[in-house]
Homo-oligomer: A and B are copies of this chain.
């Protein structure tokens, strides 16, 4: 099992890091002219944006290069726009979920709450600092994402098409984020179709479909190729997210970087749970699921029950089915063979991975 990024797509990861680094350094310098706390906010934002897998930039570049694009500067800027969008979404997702940890580190709100305490505030005030910093940092990252595409030096038609893709990414992701919160707060379990449509909206569209279609549009690809990549992206995004949710419960915390009990404690509405709710094991599972005080032994029991009722097998089979659907798109589309091969490798890695 390997990380998602195939070696072939990593050629200019340094371009992405360089572009992001330049953007943040420039903003931090400008912020320092206004206020030291504001400069610190940009430092936190830069830090929050680093350390991810850079999946979205890689997909942009892969589609762009695979469909004949040759301008690394343009591809990097579009790639950076989608990474910034991702940064904005995870920051505001943490505000909504009141999380204080991201990728094992304190997130922006935790950093700013700590900064407030160092500045002598009380606990309550430090929380406000933290939440304010996170709301603003998300707004700033979102604005930068828009700005990268709005300033892209390509013809009007192409730029407008890219802006439409960004619009779709924002619009559909917001629907998914809201649906996720609605699902989590409902008394009854979330049905499998609703789980799948929520993760398609919340993750697959902005993380897979849109980066791929943006890369294809930037390369001037023919419409059928763009449409095939969009469908491929949605299917593979769903496969990817189902796998993520499986790893969240059954993965190795040392590899995934998140506690294997946190999704269970939170009662996250995943494909695992949607299946479990239709089985006779449900009362046993429902009793512990969503209990914030769940201990490791109880989490092990839940895991056992999810295995016994077929939820693990069902979720993994569902992820595989979506990989099959995605590969079908590749096989029937008229794409350059190298791109088909690269995307095929991505498709496999969506389900065959440890983190």
Tell me the A residues contacting B by CB distance below 8 Å. Answer: 27, 30-31, 34-35, 37-38, 41, 88, 92, 95-96, 116, 119-121, 125-126, 128-129, 131-133, 135-136, 138-140, 142-143, 146-147, 149-151, 159-160, 163, 167, 170-172, 174-175, 177-179, 181-182, 184-187, 201
The answer to whether B177 and A132 have CB atoms under 8 Å apart is yes
The residues of B that contact A170 with a CB separation of less than 8 Å are 139-140, 143
Copies in the complex: 2
The residues of B that contact A172 with a CB separation of less than 8 Å are 34
The answer to whether A37 and B185 have CB atoms under 8 Å apart is no
Report which residue of A30, A120, A133, A147 has the largest number of chain B beta carbons within 10 angstroms of its beta carbon.
Answer: A147
Majority-rule SS of A interface residues: helix
Given contacts A146-B146, A160-B151, contact A181 B128 (CB under 8 A): yes
Q: What is the CB-to-nearest-CB distance from A145 to chain B, in angstroms, rounded to a whole number?
A: 9
* Complex-state Cα separation, A95 to B138, whole angstroms: 13
Given contacts A96-B128, A167-B143, contact A136 B174 (CB under 8 A): yes
* Complex-state Cα separation, A313 to B160, whole angstroms: 53
* Complex-state Cα separation, A34 to B176, whole angstroms: 9
The answer to whether B142 and A142 have CB atoms under 8 Å apart is yes
